């Protein structure tokens, strides 16, 4: 199994541009989530999904959209990039929707720089 | 909001010493998990301890949980340079939530 994969690994955007961060898992996991990690802030939850067609907001959802059309994929869309969205983004998944009781499997991260 | 918070923020020790880091949380939990993050990498699960457990071991790791004090500790014995990483605790976003949230982490540096 490839586990959780994320693309791209690194991206530079200009303010106002849009882009999609890709996340995929091949473990048939129900739960998927997106975090951003900033220095001194730990990991903050952006959006999460408990199954195909079901998404919900986390702690810091503004400026981001998600969809879950398949079990495997959970893309994160930046609608109009802002410098405040410069961060490292991690995707994670777990077997069941009772995520807090499950091991979270993390992807390698996407480093995003917004100029 | 972050329910769990790790302490200290940073820890620097020599190889062979023990490293202890703590996690405090605010509301009741069913379990608590510890993760490690090597520089530039995603988090990796270390251990899960349930609310009815007081102590759990995994190799050189020992985790304790004190639900009365709403705190957990992670002890790494006989530290190695390879243990250099950040360590995070994961707790429910709020009482009864099934969504895990993470604290700011403890940055551990083990000097060879």
Average pLDDT of adjacent 10-residue blocks, chain A of 115 residues? 94 97 97 93 92 95 97 97 97 90 94 97
Q: Is B47 on the interface with A (CB under 8 A)?
A: no
For residue B58, the cross-strand partners are: B61
∠ CA B106-B94-A73, nearest 5°, is: 80
Q: Is B49 on the interface with A (CB under 8 A)?
A: no
- At residue B30 the predicted structure's pLDDT band, cuts being 50, 70 and 90, is confident
B110, pLDDT greater than 70: yes
Work out the widest C-alpha separation in chain B, in whole angstroms.
43
B1, pLDDT greater than 80: no
Where helices occur in B1-112 by DSSP H, the ranges are none
**Separation of alpha carbons A101 and B31, rounded Å:** 7
pLDDT average, residue stretch B75-103? 91
**Separation of alpha carbons A51 and A70, rounded Å:** 8
| Helix (H) and strand (E) counts in chain B | 0, 11
B2, pLDDT greater than 70: no
Output the pLDDT for position A2. Answer: 85
Would the CB atoms of B104 and A42 count as touching at under 8 Å?
yes
pLDDT average, residue stretch B58-79? 97
Q: Is B87 on the interface with A (CB under 8 A)?
A: no
Output the pLDDT for position B92. Answer: 85
Would the CB atoms of B42 and A109 count as touching at under 8 Å?
yes
């Amino acid at each position: 199994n490839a586990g959780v994969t994320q693309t791209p690994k690194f991206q530079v955007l200009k303010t106002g541009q849009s882009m999609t961060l890709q996340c995929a898992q091949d473990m048939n996991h129900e739960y998927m989530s997106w975090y951003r990690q900033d220095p001194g802030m730990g990991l903050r939850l952006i959006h999460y999904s408990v199954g195909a067609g079901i998404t919900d907001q986390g702690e810091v959802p503004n400026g981001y959209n998600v969809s879950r059309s398949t079990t495997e994929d959970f893309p994160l869309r930046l609608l109009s990039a802002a410098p405040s969205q410069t961060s490292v983004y991690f995707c994670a998944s777990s077997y069941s929707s009772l995520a807090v009781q499950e091991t979270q499997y993390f992807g390698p991260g996407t480093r995003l720089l917004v100029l | 909001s972050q329910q769990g918070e790790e302490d200290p923020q940073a820890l620097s020790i020599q190889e062979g010493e023990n490293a202890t880091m703590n996690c405090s949380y605010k509301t009741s939990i069913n379990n608590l998990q510890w993760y490690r993050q090597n520089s530039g990498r995603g988090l990796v699960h270390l251990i899960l301890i349930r609310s009815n457990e007081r102590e759990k071991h995994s190799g050189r790791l020992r985790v304790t949980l004190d639900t009365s004090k709403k705190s957990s500790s992670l002890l790494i014995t006989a530290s190695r340079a390879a243990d250099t990483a950040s360590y995070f605790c994961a707790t429910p976003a709020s009482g009864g939530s099934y969504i895990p949230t993470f604290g700011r982490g403890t940055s551990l540096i083990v000097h060879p």
